[in-house]
Amino acid sequence: MSAYLWTMSAGSALIFALYGLRCAKAVRLPELHTRAWRTALLSFVFAVLFGTVLGRIGYAVLTQELDFEYDGIEALAYLLDFVEFGTPHVSFFCAAVGVCLGVLLANRLTRKDTVFAGMDAFAPFGALLAAMFRLGELFFKIYGLGRTLPENSPLAFFPFAVRLTDAGGYESWRWAVCVLSALFALVWAAVAFFRFRSRGRTGFSFSAALFYLALPQILCESLRTTGIMWLFVHAEQLLCAVVLLFVMLFWILKSGKGLPFPRRWWPLGALLLGVGLLVAVEFAIDGKIFNFRLSVSYIIMCAVLAGIGFAGAAAAKRWNREETR
């Protein structure tokens, strides 16, 4: 646990230092450099505070493990119990929300005139943070892993899989889902940094990061064998779908006001249809409907997610194009 804390703390400090460097380079006046570094420092402090608190409280609420009949000391002791039996008692989604709120507050306090420009600048570094913490799940044994691979599988090696040894000495290889999650985040970090660095309207890079970081997590959460479960669905899958819905609505409501109803709203229709198909696929994976092979179900899920991504790209491009004319 101490190795995990030291690694994540050092990595987070480095990423926020890079965020400060980017903010400082973005301003031309030397007197504004101090403000940029102050923004990065406050962002780091608030992100750690809000991310930790919301991540822990979010886990307690989503799992309904917190008995609100506890007195103050017992409830506080429960909330301070971040890890039990090698499993982190923190909601990654809620922690990510806390980090975003922390960075938003820091920008609001230090650069009121360019708050969302600061969030755009943070987008690739937020993705780097997500990738780092996903890889950090390797510290927690089975947490962050998927199903067991078949014996003699050609993919039974890292980074595709992680070998585990149980108490009886039996060895097995499990899918390294946390590595896949980190890979998606790293890809988006590269896209946000190099592709959107000098183009797009204010808020475009950050809103796109929210959408395209949440999108693949629906697949990754489905592949996990641990996590916050509501019946047979991972709670954070549903929360990611809510993020997709809100970002899509934002893009649509801010653009295409003169277009016919079908042309303006078809991306939302595609998203809702995709969510319905994803629910059906989860039923199939759970064996409640159809009789697909597991691999077929996940191929269908990837195809549906790709369709949602295409619809999101169309809505985002229209909003960005109209606002930058």
pLDDT at 61: 80
pLDDT at 79: 59
pTM for the whole structure: 0.88
Task: Yes or no: say if 248 and 275 are a contact pair by the CB < 8 Å rule.
Answer: no
Q: Residue 254: which domain range?
A: 2-323
Fill in the DSSP letter of residue 87. Answer: E
Task: Yes or no: say if 13 and 44 are a contact pair by the CB < 8 Å rule.
Answer: yes
Residue 278 CA: distances (Å) to CA of 11, 281, 282, 286, 300: 35, 5, 6, 12, 9
First to last CA, the chain: 51
How many domains are there within the chain? 1
**Alpha carbon distance 217, 212 (integer Å):** 9
In this structure, is the dihedral angle defined by the CA atoms of residues 125, 130, 134 and 137, taken in order, positive or negative?
Answer: positive
pLDDT at 266: 94
pLDDT at 85: 41
pLDDT at 198: 55
pLDDT at 72: 53
**Alpha carbon distance 51, 28 (integer Å):** 32
- The residues of the chain scoring below 70 in pLDDT are 1, 26-32, 65-88, 112-113, 166-169, 196-200, 322-325
pLDDT at 142: 74
